[in-house]
């Protein structure tokens, strides 16, 4: 048989096989679905239950935009090669613990836009190959601490647009999710965040930890956390820096952009644009200090190495010298701290089993004890200075000696004429004006004193008391004169 005949024969065999496969798919494909090769699409088919007898060769199963209420156990037993499962836009309210027990090869699971209210530990613990989990736009109020602990290959978890108020960030410690790069918790109901637990989360998770559009309460700890993430260039902050807001004093209408200047949070530990230094540890001279190596790596199969401020290596656990000792858990002990031990210490942790290493810096300050007597003397001196200043002010105001003894003598008082109104005795000073003519009281450049003007004799107004303005030239001597008041 020639080569051309063999090729023609092989083509006929392939065509026959394709026809058989197509006939097999057509015979097993549910009536309300569309089957094409390894794709099974049952979207928008008004389904209330999952169809029976799913094609075994299906790799992608799309059941979105239906009215599914529950997922029965063992329903995926007939599709062992399933990689992609879309269940979004349905009416799912809860999940059975064994709903995905036969989907060990599943990599993408979409449960978004349903009515789920909680995520329990047993829902996804069998999905060891899962890489993407979409749970956004549900009614989830609780996620169990161990819900994702067995998802060792998970890369993306989307939990935005739910009703979460708490989340176990401690479950992300110790490199339990080495491949996780996106954890979306935006647009939930978080009012407070556990800053300490979040600080111990590995940096590669922080880079994709989205927390914007939450009703967070403003505070310096929150401001410092997000500012540190911004300065380290984390995408979770840089991509949505305007959406990172908080409520001032917890009031819903007092919305403040956390990462914007002049937001009321500039008086915290550091202002915008300044590098936030680690406050570090402080110890007195001659005291013992234990410095932890916080690297979020498991203690098993992890080795530690410290570098001193003088760039000297401090050797692995179990070794010691006169000043330092490294404990098996990676902590560095400084026996008797001295001023030259101050500086930044660098811890390097290497886990060979996970092929991963990380570092941690600690700023150590060694200082002498402060004398409390000095601070007391300083405060006492300040207090005495204030008292002396007050005494001098009172002496100046109430005990100023008279410079003119002749003027200080009080002349005999002359009783006012009977026809003179009482307003005549209300003049601030008895110093007569320069002239008494009709044009003598000209308007001054500016008037600052308002007082009672004596009433001319012989006036017959019903109300003899009249408030008038006097010029500055007439009032200056009456206001600032040291002489006693003389009635004319």
Residue 412 placed within a domain: no
At residue 86, φ and ψ (nearest 5 deg) are: -110, 115
Q: Which domain holds residue 427?
A: 420-488
Q: Radius of gyration of the chain from Cα atoms? A: 43
Residues sharing a CB contact under 8 Å with residue 373, sequence separation 6 or more, in sequence order: none
**Looking at the 3D structure of the chain, how many domains does it have?**
3
Q: Where residue 201 falls among pLDDT bands split at 50, 70, 90? A: confident
User: 205 and 119 share a domain?
Assistant: yes
Query: Which DSSP symbol is given to 320?
Result: B
User: 183 and 127 share a domain?
Assistant: yes
User: 65 and 105 share a domain?
Assistant: yes
Which of 162, 180, 159 lies closest to 171, judged by CA? 180
Per-residue tokens: 163 = 């009703």
Over residues 70-121, the pLDDT tens digits come to: 998 889 988 999 999 999 999 999 998 888 988 899 999 999 999 999 999 8
Residue 377 placed within a domain: no
- pLDDT on residue 481: 40
Which of 210, 163, 155, 167 lies closest to 185, judged by CA? 210
CATH number of the domain enclosing 345: 2.60.40.10
Q: Where residue 305 falls among pLDDT bands split at 50, 70, 90? A: confident
What does each C-alpha distance from 55 to 61, 80, 110, 302, 459 come to in angstroms? 10, 10, 20, 47, 119
- pTM, entire model: 0.57
What does each C-alpha distance from 137 to 120, 164, 186, 236, 242 come to in angstroms? 17, 11, 11, 19, 22
Q: Where residue 310 falls among pLDDT bands split at 50, 70, 90? A: confident
Residues sharing a CB contact under 8 Å with residue 115, sequence separation 6 or more, in sequence order: 91, 92, 93, 138, 139
User: 330 and 452 share a domain?
Assistant: no
CB 125 within 8 A of CB 150: yes
């Amino acid at each position: 048989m020639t080569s051309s005949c063999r090729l023609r024969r092989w083509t006929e065999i392939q065509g026959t096989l394709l026809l058989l496969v197509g006939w097999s798919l057509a015979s097993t494909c549910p009536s309300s679905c569309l089957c094409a090769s390894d794709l099974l699409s049952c979207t928008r088919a008004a389904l209330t239950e999952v169809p029976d007898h799913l094609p075994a060769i299906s790799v992608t199963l799309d059941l979105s935009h239906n009215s599914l209420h529950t997922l029965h156990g063992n329903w995926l037993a007939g599709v062992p090669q399933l990689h992609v499962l879309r269940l979004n836009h349905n009416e799912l309210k809860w999940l059975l613990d064994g709903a995905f027990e036969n989907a060990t090869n599943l990599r993408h699971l979409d449960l978004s836009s349903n009515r789920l209210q909680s995520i329990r530990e047993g829902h996804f613990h069998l999905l060891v190959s899962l890489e993407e989990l979409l749970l956004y736009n549900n009614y989830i109020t609780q996620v169990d601490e161990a819900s994702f602990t067995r998802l060792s290959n998970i890369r993306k978890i989307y939990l935005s647009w739910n009703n979460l108020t708490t989340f176990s960030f401690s479950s992300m410690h110790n490199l339990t999710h080495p491949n996780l790069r996106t954890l979306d918790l935006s647009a939930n109901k978080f009012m407070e965040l556990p800053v300490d637990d979040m600080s111990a989360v590995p940096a590669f998770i922080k880079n994709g930890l989205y927390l914007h559009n939450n009703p967070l309460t403003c505070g310096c700890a929150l401001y410092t956390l997000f500012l540190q993430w911004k300065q380290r260039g984390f995408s979770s902050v840089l991509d949505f820096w305007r959406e990172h807001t908080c409520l001032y004093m917890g009031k819903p209408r007092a919305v403040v952009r956390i990462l914007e200047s002049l937001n009321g949070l500039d008086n915290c530990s550091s202002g915008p644009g300044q590098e936030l230094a680690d406050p570090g540890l402080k110890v007195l001279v001659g005291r013992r200090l234990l410095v932890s190596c916080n690297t979020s790596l498991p203690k098993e199969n992890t080795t530690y190495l410290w570098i001193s401020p003088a760039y000297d290596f401090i050797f692995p656990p179990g070794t010691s010298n006169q000043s330092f000792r490294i404990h098996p858990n990676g902590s560095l002990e400084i026996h008797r701290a001295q001023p030259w031990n101050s500086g930044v210490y660098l811890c390097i942790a290497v886990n060979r089993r996970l092929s991963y290493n990380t570092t941690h810096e600690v700023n150590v300050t060694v200082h002498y004890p402060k004398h409390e007597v000095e601070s007391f003397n300083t405060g006492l001196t300040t207090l005495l200075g204030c008292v002396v200043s007050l005494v001098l002010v009172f002496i100046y105001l109430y005990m100023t000696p008279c410079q003119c003894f002749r003027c200080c003598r009080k002349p005999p008082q002359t009783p006012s004429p009977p026809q003179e109104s009482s307003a005549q005795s209300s003049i601030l000073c008895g110093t007569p004006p320069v002239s008494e003519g009709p044009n003598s009281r000209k308007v001054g450049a500016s008037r600052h004193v308002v007082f009672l003007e004596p009433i001319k004799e012989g006036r017959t107004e019903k109300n003899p008391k009249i408030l008038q303005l006097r010029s500055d030239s007439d009032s200056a001597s009456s206001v600032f004169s040291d002489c006693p008041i003389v009635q004319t």
